[in-house]
Amino acid sequence: MLEIRENVSHKGYDFKADNVHITEAFENNKVTGYITYSYESDRTIVHGIDDGGDLFLCDGLVRSVIFKSTLKGIGTLVFDTADCRENLRKLKFITGDCQTVENIDRFMNGCSDCKHKN
């Protein structure tokens, strides 16, 4: 059974910044993917994603960060990584060269809104 949870210790990762958060996906007590991100006052920045090529895992990891961002009152998500671009496009988190999802509350309700639409 898939389980997604935050790694608060950063054990097993080499990050120099204290403000980087890591959320991991577990299956059978083994890490199968992760997403790294940080919060700013008005946006969440995704630094990296490892989904092992699994579209559904990518979706779950990103949505977990979006959910946590909405709980903090943050309405913008920026993908500052080239990781998983194809999966992010398939899932309509991004379009074209767009790296930003504006109004993530609306996105979670089925609408994506990007300030860089083609």
Name the CA radius of gyration of the chain, rounded: 14
What tokens appear for 51 in the block?
A: 């989904």
Number of domains in the chain: 1
When comparing pLDDT for 8 and 104, which is higher? Answer: 8
When comparing pLDDT for 78 and 113, which is higher? Answer: 78
Share of the chain above pLDDT 90, in %: 53
CATH of the domain at 34: 3.40.630.30
pLDDT for residue 111: 41
Residue 29 sits in which domain range? 2-108
pLDDT for residue 39: 95
User: Of 27-31, 38-42, 74-78, 92-96, which gets the smallest average pLDDT?
Assistant: 92-96
- In-domain check, residue 51: yes
